[in-house]
Amino acid sequence: MAVLLLNTLDVPDEFRLGDTDRRVAYSGVSHLTWNPVILSAQYDDLSILTPTPDHLVQCVADSPGDSTHGVPGLRAEAVENDGEALVLRHVPTGALLRFRYFEYYNHRRRKPSWFFDTHFAAMRRDCAIGPRERAVLDAVPPIHADAEYLLAGVTARLTCWHKQEGWAVSRLVHDDIAHRGRDKDYWPFLHLWGEGTEWVLRWGGLGSVPPADVAHALTHEIVGLKGARAVVKGANQSEVRFGKARLVLERPRTEYSDLFGRWSRAR
């Protein structure tokens, strides 16, 4: 999930890691990060809280047939409590993904006034994994168990922030802490790649959060991963280790004017 969620198509070439397979970026899953969702994770059960569940399910859904758009092998399973949640199951792993109805200004309301499941109803329900889906699954590099736990930790904390303590993960490019934006920065992007125990996560954009904030969330005494260790290497780079795994967190910077100049000269 993390490799599909944290890779967008519009990564500047200079920041793209060498052996990246772009098939993972063609997935629509990263579009979830552009929406004001809240993630709530349990083991093999990830909930996405949103006021528009049926709309956002399009980001992860494969269209009918053997598609590469969403999460390969993810299938519709059930509607819970008249629209309280749309439940999907990942056939290869058995893990669940729930899109839960949530109102930001009325947290007690758990069901929509009018329930529509137009896009959910159109999702596949068969268990067959087609050749194109298999190709995307095979494009994801092998992940060591410690790295899998660490990357899952990033996903689970992707919408966390703490105003009083002054840190935010905030989907990496939508900083919830006011007045920390970097002027003249480029369009937002996300890029995660690696293999085995070694992984790099890069992001950038006007609302990008400091890597130290992400490292802090992963090692926080209350919400962090027990046993994770962080090293801050500057304003734009940190490193988190868990077991044998290492995740390098980077926020490179290139201004709009620089990118536009290179694009103009290339024409």
Tell me the average pLDDT across 41-53: 91
Indicate the pTM of the whole model.
Answer: 0.87
**Spatial CA neighbour of 13 closest among 196, 252, 238, 208:** 252
At 221, the amino acid letter reads: E
Sequence-distant (≥ 6) Cβ neighbours of residue 163 within 8 angstroms: 176, 177
Between 135 and 201, the higher pLDDT residue? 201
List pLDDT tens digits, range 74-97: 999 999 988 899 999 999 999 999
Between 48 and 183, the higher pLDDT residue? 48
Tell me the average pLDDT across 245-265: 68
Q: Considering only 16-20, 55-59, 259-263, which range has the smallest mean pLDDT?
A: 259-263
Does residue 130 sit in helix, strand or coil?
Answer: coil
Q: Is the pLDDT of residue 262 over 60?
A: no
Rounded distance, CA 55 to CA 241, Å? Answer: 36
What's the gap between Cα 246 and its chain centre?
18
Does residue 220 sit in helix, strand or coil?
Answer: coil
**Under a CB-based contact definition with an 8 Å cutoff, are residues 225 and 150 in contact?**
yes
List pLDDT tens digits, range 91-150: 999 999 999 998 876 667 667 777 778 889 988 898 888 888 888 888 899 999 999 999
Tell me the pLDDT band of 214, cut-offs 50, 70 and 90. very high
Q: Is the pLDDT of residue 184 over 60?
A: no
